[in-house]
Amino acid sequence: MPTIAELDLTPPDLESFKSWGAIQNWLARNFGILQDIFSSLENSVVLTIDDFRKGAIGPTDVTLGNTPTIPALHFDATNELLAVHVIMPTDWDKSVDCKLALLFSLASTQLNGDVLDIILDYVTPEVDTTGAGFSKTSTQLTPSLVMTTANGLAVDDLHEMFISLDKDDVNNGYIVGDNHVGFCFEFHLANLVGVVDINFVAGELIYEAIH
């Protein structure tokens, strides 16, 4: 995606200004860059706890906070699964990678350098396409979130993990004009090293929107 830095802020020299064509080219080049910048804006689909579904073995329901209290899901085993599916809005720009953000609250005190490892599998289902429904070949990612507060982190502190979803992925990529309609995700703890228990709070699927 173009940036402001790509604008040509130096107009044609005085000699070139004698040519209307040179002025037109300079204006058109900058207008095209600005049009690309403002035609695609970041947007998101917010995913609450109610949007997620537990696997055959799932995390435990808990509440966080005092007034108010909010629902959360407590992970403390590697076989506890949580899944969600998202139908994307019609303004989804398929020429740009998406990001999945997962919001966690610490269930126990962590130290600087402790790592939260998860395993995330996802598919991008397509409509009217043979073999491209929810059972298509999934992509597996192993994102990590490193705790980086030198004085340690207290119970209930919030941390957000951002996971890039590659539009060019071999199994679950997407392109402008294709039949992809959204994403299906499933994740669980990868191990019980570092961060051994965590409370999941909410998620957000971040995408570029065409306007």
* Domain assignments of the chain as residue spans, ordered by start: 4-37, 41-210
Q: Please report the pLDDT score of residue 3 as a whole number.
A: 47
Cis status of the peptide bond prior to 12, with omega within 30 of 0: no
Q: Percentage of residues in the chain with pLDDT exceeding 70?
A: 80
Total-model pTM: 0.80
Q: How far is CA 183 from the centre of its chain?
A: 11
* Residue 181 pLDDT > 80: yes
Q: Please report the pLDDT score of residue 27 as a whole number.
A: 59
Q: Please report the pLDDT score of residue 210 as a whole number.
A: 86
For residue 7, the 8-state DSSP code is S
Average pLDDT, the chain: 87
Which CATH number is 41-210 given? 2.60.120.260
pLDDT class of 148 with cuts at 50, 70, 90: confident
- Residue 199 and residue 189: Cα distance in Å, rounded? 11
Q: Please report the pLDDT score of residue 20 as a whole number.
A: 56
